[in-house]
Structure 1
Amino acid sequence: MNLTISGHHLDVSPALREYVLTKLDRITRHFDQVVDINVLLSVEKLKEKERRQKAEVTLHVKGKDIFVEHSHEDLYAAIDQLMDKLDRQVMRHKDKLQDHHHLAPKRMDATL
């Protein structure tokens, strides 16, 4: 698994990097077929009093790319909510891969 954590208009501190890694453990625990993860943390300066922190993740799994982004005033809160969204999408993708409960057309003829 390749992991890239980068910052746009901010320096990624070791504490911030460790926080992202601990949150990504939940994703890799649920789905182990992750090929590549790109995390981009950025600061958008809309107005002086209104600074938005944005976190986005591009997750490349076998057969699909999953992209999630979230903005918040606090970067740690943005990362938390981003990982919740990402976890839901990864679980949905995993369920689609494992959903083999339908009968194949060639098997339907044999049962009739």
Structure 2
Amino acid sequence: MPIPEPVILKSPRGLPRKVASSFEALECLDQEWPKWARGRSWRAACRACRDALEGWRGARDARRAFVKAAERAGLAIVREPVRPRKGAPAFRLPQGATQQPSLSSAG
């Protein structure tokens, strides 16, 4: 089940790891998690991801549990996606850029 907003972690090996689904989160928890950090929050994240895969819980719950376990394990979250404010445009031009003229306005 896809996670609504992917999480990018800095793995113990120092490489960034993008987690975009409950399956990827479960795989990361199983294969890349530090042994010393496999406590209560790790178990809760594993359970939430398995439940999401089986349809018992939503992907948001799985993501929330995964992020909490990552924070407890001291794994740096490299980038949290920024959700645009309600009513704000989804795309903004870079500062100083000008918008290309549309075909209809070309003379």
TM-score after normalising by structure 1: 0.33
Q: Which has the higher contact order (CA 8 A, sep 6+)?
A: 2
TM-score, normalised with respect to structure 2: 0.34
